[in-house]
Structure 1
Amino acid sequence: MSATQAGPLRAFVAMIRAEQVNLTERWMKAVFGDSDLNESDKLTYEQLADHLPNILDEICVALENEDLDKAEPAMERNARLHGKMRWRQGYRIDELIRELELFRQVLMGALTQYVETHRDFTRRNEERARHYIDEALSFVTLTSVREVVTERDRKIDEYTGRLERANHELQLKQQLVSELYESRMQITRSVVHDLRNFLNVFSMALQLVARAPSKTETALALANRQAADMKVLVDELVEYAVVLRDANTVAIESFALRELFDELVASCRPSIEAKGLQFDTSFDPQLAAVSSNRLKLKQVALNLLTNAAKYTKTGRIGLTMAADGNDHWLLRVSDTGVGIGQHDRERVFEEFERVAGDDVPGAGLGLAIVKELCRVLDGKIRFDSREGFGTTFEIRFPTLLSLKD
């Protein structure tokens, strides 16, 4: 194409460049005055203009060269930015198309005025100018709409992901509620079962007194033993309820582990030795003060020691506190009791599990309490056991307990 042929279009482009501000303002006035463009009323002049001046520059490049390909990369980039911006500003697709159509009308109006005032601008020149303007703005419109659709789809995917996650969380919560309901029903069944047994035995004792007054002492001993077992059951239920209620409230204090150790030995030795068991104790002199919750640590140790004594008929109970590096320490409780069978290992920390059967008093909540307290105290619990030979529980606690968010 010769310079002579390109000259008329370049002269028209020069006029557009010179009138760029007026053309942009004319387009803005048309947009603000269009009743179908609601979102534009919320924008400032700067927000509305957006990338249109840059797009107009690229249209001028296409007209100058009579070649859309040269201007297409920059035009696409600005059109995508325009579409993304309009999406963020709340435009609907039809509003985006409408405002770009108004932009086309403004340019076509400028071309008509130019043709009327420049007799040397032939019909062929006009047709070619209209062709490039139409092609350029069709490309800009399509690219902008595609960007809006992409942003919309991305947002839909984001919302879908959120909905899926929320649905998953809801399912987990529903499952938790179901498990909690079953757990509460299990509490009810367990307590009702134990209460029925208690009342049956107590009724038998009363019948024995009525039928054989001479056996009153035997009957009272039976009733007292049953009442003591029920007290253990109620105490465990109350303790577990308290642990669940304040599990997220941890008051951290600094205290000497030796003092807690001595307190545990003094409180547990009489009952352990009263069963004819030997009480072996060991304290690591490297252990000094720790920062944790003293009462909850005491609960953990007492539940382990009480549990060990329940399931041990002969032999010994062991209590050890030892250092484990600079940042942790170990609490170890061992026994020579009945042990835990291989098939019971998975459920040993579950509520109302009594691996040795119903002949041991209590609700089977001791290890469930220990598990919950260890979660709060950041303790890592493990155990080794051989059925018929005994069990050793070991918990690794941090020396400095940190509050969790």
Structure 2
Amino acid sequence: MLQDITRLKEVERLKSEFVLAASHELKTPLTGISMSINLLQELAEQWPERERELLKVAQEETNRLRALVSDLLDLSRLESGRFEVDIQPISIAYLFERTLAAFYDQAKARGIELVSSIKPGTPEVLADPTKIAWIISNLISNALRYTPPGGHIRVMAKGNPERAYLAVSDDGAGIPTEYRSRIFDKFIQVKGDSKAGSGLGLAICKEIVKAHGGSIWVESIPGEGSTFTFVLKAAPSTFSRESSGENNHVQTDQSENSRHR
């Protein structure tokens, strides 16, 4: 049994190394193709509409492939242990402000209300701010994709002296029951879902949270929405300061800065 487990781990390691190498090899030619298309677009103003439309499709598909290669690189680095995390004490208010600003206009344009709140007593966390901001961004992007006009997306945090719970909730389409247990696996996409991305975003979220010593899960009801929650360790000696309300301005200023429609 031990030999079988060791062999499986070696196979997984080799697979990650192969994907990492292949992704690196794909990145350079894709960059060249994208640059060539950009140059052509500068010359295409006088082209017939059909040719300009084909060029636009080529650019969109190239961008999609570049995003997929980037996700593969990140996931391979995470799985092979080459993904570095810069752990430091960070306030959740800062994380929310840094991340949500990029989505307010998108939400407003789609008629979706995007709100954030931090419960009093939520501590600072030990985390890599860039990586955790990536997770929050990915979860909000997914929520925007599946929430209809008139819907709501809530980005929330609560905690205790040991840990903080961050969540992104929506009242969108929800996740079919048969996919819920596998939603964080690689390349999982709901059958017939035309809005799905690469199928790697949630797998990357899971690996990043794991690298922080935390966990992530989803609660979902088809037709009513989904809530993705992940846990991070609290930073030492921050619980009493957060309890006093010093870092709750995302919540207290919600009427001005955190609530958009």
- Range of TM-score over shorter length: 0.5 to 0.7
Going by fraction, where is helix more abundant, 1 or 2?
A: 1
Are the counterparts in 1 of residues 162 and 234 from structure 2 also a CA contact under 8 Å?
yes
C-alpha spacing 1:215/1:339, structure 2 compared with 1 (3 Å): same
Q: TM-score, normalised by structure 1?
A: 0.46
1:218 to 2:81 alignment: no
After superposition, residues 3-402 of structure 1 pair within 5 angstroms as 168-178=1-11, 213-246=48-81, 249-314=84-149, 315-322=151-158, 324-355=159-190, 357=192, 359-360=194-195, 362-400=197-235
Q: What is the CA distance between 1:329 and its match in structure 2?
A: 1.2
Are the counterparts in 2 of residues 318 and 334 from structure 1 also a CA contact under 8 Å?
yes
Identity %: 27
Are the counterparts in 2 of residues 233 and 361 from structure 1 also a CA contact under 8 Å?
no
Q: What is the CA distance between 1:349 and its match in structure 2?
A: 0.9
Letter in structure 2 aligned against 1:241: S
SS at match of 1:333: strand
Q: What is the CA distance between 1:326 and its match in structure 2?
A: 2.0
Q: What is the CA distance between 1:231 and its match in structure 2?
A: 3.4
**Range 299-308 or range 247-256, more displaced:** 247-256
SS at match of 2:101: helix
C-alpha spacing 1:384/1:276, structure 2 compared with 1 (3 Å): same
SS at match of 2:104: helix
Q: What is the CA distance between 1:242 and its match in structure 2?
A: 3.8
Letter in structure 2 aligned against 1:171: D
Which whole-Å CA distance do the structure 1 matches of 2:145 and 2:67 have between them? 11
Which whole-Å CA distance do the structure 2 matches of 1:311 and 1:247 have between them? 33
C-alpha spacing 1:240/1:176, structure 2 compared with 1 (3 Å): same
Q: What is the CA distance between 1:264 and its match in structure 2?
A: 1.1
Which whole-Å CA distance do the structure 2 matches of 1:334 and 1:319 have between them? 7
C-alpha spacing 1:180/1:389, structure 2 compared with 1 (3 Å): farther
- Structure 2 gaps of 5+ residues are 31-36, 38-43, 237-261
Q: What is the CA distance between 1:370 and its match in structure 2?
A: 1.1
Deviations 1:148-181 (A, max 9, x none): xxxxxxxxxxxxxxxxxxxx32210212344566
Which whole-Å CA distance do the structure 2 matches of 1:291 and 1:175 have between them? 32
Which whole-Å CA distance do the structure 2 matches of 1:336 and 1:181 have between them? 41
Q: What is the CA distance between 1:291 and its match in structure 2?
A: 2.8
Are the counterparts in 2 of residues 232 and 362 from structure 1 also a CA contact under 8 Å?
no
Deviations 1:256-276 (A, max 9, x none): 221111111112323333444
C-alpha spacing 1:313/1:231, structure 2 compared with 1 (3 Å): farther
Q: What is the CA distance between 1:300 and its match in structure 2?
A: 2.1
Deviations 1:67-99 (A, max 9, x none): xxxxxxxxxxxxxxxxxxxxxxxxxxxxxxxxx
Q: What is the CA distance between 1:234 and its match in structure 2?
A: 2.7
Identify the structure with bigger relative contact order (alpha carbons < 8 Å, sequence gap 6+): 2
Work out which of the two has the higher radius of gyration on C-alpha atoms and give 1 or 2. Answer: 1
Provide the aligned length of Structure 1 versus Structure 2.
Answer: 214
Which whole-Å CA distance do the structure 2 matches of 1:281 and 1:258 have between them? 10
Q: TM-score, normalised by structure 2?
A: 0.68
C-alpha spacing 1:369/1:214, structure 2 compared with 1 (3 Å): closer
C-alpha spacing 1:230/1:332, structure 2 compared with 1 (3 Å): same
